[in-house]
């Protein structure tokens, strides 16, 4: 019933938004802003996981690569409608060149609506922050959806301190041809999945709550988080779980993916040192009967603890930000003799992030 009511609300809002946009002052000058970002990095990896095997020898690697190149086009069509297009030029598939493409209609002072390929509201602040300038490292996580997807979003902001978003995206589909399918009940496009998000502002603290249902409402995820800024120190905290259900016999069973992330950054003027910690764990006892506590050799799909320390250098203007970071990921593995061992891999990164 909740999902049905949400769909009815969204459909009604769409009609209001289109009507409001049509009545807007079309004499207002149209605006457009073009900007871009890039990130290049040289990374040294110690290949520490090779030491898990008995007698294994690590073989370190050093890679120089272009990590991100993106172009953004933003602007307004009139006093009610704005647009935001993003292009990712390093996507392997040409169909993924368009990273996001949304149009936002301002229905009233408190209500707005977004249509298009949009950021999916999942994974907390850490997921939205980790889109581009992820100098601290790639976060291990298990999201229900891709980072962006075709979506319809309704936003309600009674004032500048509170915002509620209801988002509809295409539900996942059980595809027998895909080994890593995460849908077990939805065999076709039977209904959209619904996501609810709240963000607030209480002085220096900005809380966030997200809840979503997918796979014909058999699976769900939730996240709670907070931002805080005390003088020159910025903190971000997120904790959440993605519960993916599947049929086991005559009952629904779930495997749960847990994430906890903490990030701290201190602006010292010419330097901005940071500390980042992320824990990721898969709980599958309900499915397998015995909890899996180890990873397969060379893979991180269960327990993982990530730590990153480094700094950005801010003496080169607003458009260039060199950085250095040391990242380490550790967890438990089974070696070839089926013995449990703790393994880790470290990275030393020197990079440059810039705007143009």
CB 115 within 8 A of CB 152: yes
CA-to-CA distance for 184 and 193, rounded, in angstroms?
Answer: 14
CA-to-CA distance for 282 and 280, rounded, in angstroms?
Answer: 7
CB 185 within 8 A of CB 151: no
231 DSSP assignment: T
Query: Which is more confidently placed, 318 or 309?
Result: 309
For the record, the structure tokens of 242 come out as 């993605």
Cα angle value 277/266/36 (rounded, 5°) = 85
Compute the mean pLDDT over every residue in the chain, rounded to the nearest whole number.
85
pTM for the full model? 0.84
pLDDT at 9 over 50: no
pLDDT of residue 312: 92
Question: Considering only CA atoms, which of 123, 75, 74, 122 is closest in space to residue 99?
Answer: 74
Q: Please tell me whether residue 94 adopts helix, strand or coil conformation.
A: helix
What is the tens place of the pLDDT at every residue in 57-74?
A: 778 899 998 888 889 999
* Ramachandran angles phi, psi of 342, nearest 5°: -95, 125
In which band, very low, low, confident or very high, does the pLDDT at 315 lie, cut at 50, 70 and 90? confident
Residue 109's CB: how many other CB atoms inside 10 A?
9
CB 204 within 8 A of CB 231: no
Bridge partner residues of 84 (DSSP): 74, 102
CB 335 within 8 A of CB 54: yes
Residue 12: alpha-carbon gap to chain centroid: 29
In which band, very low, low, confident or very high, does the pLDDT at 223 lie, cut at 50, 70 and 90? very high
Which domain range does residue 64 map to? 2-25+32-355
Mean pLDDT within 179-183:
67
Mean pLDDT within 74-102:
87
CB 297 within 8 A of CB 333: yes
Q: Please tell me whether residue 17 adopts helix, strand or coil conformation.
A: helix
For the record, the structure tokens of 42 come out as 């040289």
Pairing of strands 98-106, 205-214: unpaired
CB 311 within 8 A of CB 271: yes
CA-to-CA distance for 74 and 103, rounded, in angstroms?
Answer: 10
Domains: count for the chain: 1
Mean pLDDT within 229-254:
91
Mean pLDDT within 236-241:
96
pLDDT of residue 22: 43
The domain spanning residue 165 has which CATH number? 2.40.160.10
């Amino acid at each position: 019933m909740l999902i049905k009511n949400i769909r009815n609300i969204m459909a009604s809002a769409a009609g209001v938004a289109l009507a409001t946009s049509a009545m807007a002052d079309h004499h207002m000058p149209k605006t457009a802003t073009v900007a871009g970002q890039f990130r290049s990095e040289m990374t040294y990896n110690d290949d520490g996981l090779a030491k898990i095997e008995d007698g294994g020898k690590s073989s370190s690697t050093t890679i120089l690569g272009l990590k991100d190149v993106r172009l953004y086009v933003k602007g307004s069509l009139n006093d009610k409608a704005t647009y935001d297009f993003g292009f990712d030029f390093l996507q392997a598939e040409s169909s993924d060149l368009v990273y996001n493409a949304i149009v936002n209609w301002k229905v009233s002072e408190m209500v707005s609506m977004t249509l298009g390929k949009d950021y999916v509201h999942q994974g907390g602040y850490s997921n939205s922050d980790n889109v581009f300038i992820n100098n601290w490292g790639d976060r291990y996580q298990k999201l229900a959806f891709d980072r962006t997807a075709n979506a319809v979003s309704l936003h309600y902001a009674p004032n500048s301190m509170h915002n509620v978003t209801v988002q509809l995206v295409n539900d996942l589909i059980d595809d027998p041809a895909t080994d890593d399918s995460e849908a077990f009940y939805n065999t076709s496009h039977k209904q959209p999945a619904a996501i609810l998000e709240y963000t607030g502002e209480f002085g220096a603290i900005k809380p966030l709550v997200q809840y979503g249902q997918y796979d014909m409402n058999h699976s769900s995820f939730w996240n709670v988080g907070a931002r805080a800024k005390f003088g020159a120190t910025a903190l971000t905290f997120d904790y959440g779980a993605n519960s993916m259900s599947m049929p086991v016999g005559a009952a629904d069973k779930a495997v749960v993916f847990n994430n906890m992330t903490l990030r701290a950054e201190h602006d010292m003027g010419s330097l901005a040192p940071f500390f980042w910690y992320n824990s990721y764990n898969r709980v599958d006892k309900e499915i397998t009967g015995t909890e899996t506590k180890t990873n397969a050799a060379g893979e991180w799909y269960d327990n993982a603890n990530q730590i990153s320390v480094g700094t950005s250098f801010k003496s080169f203007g607003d458009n260039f930000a060199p950085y250095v970071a040391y990242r380490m990921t550790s967890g438990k593995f089974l070696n070839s003799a089926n013995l449990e061992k703790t393994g880790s891999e470290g990275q030393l990164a020197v990079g440059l992030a810039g705007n143009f």
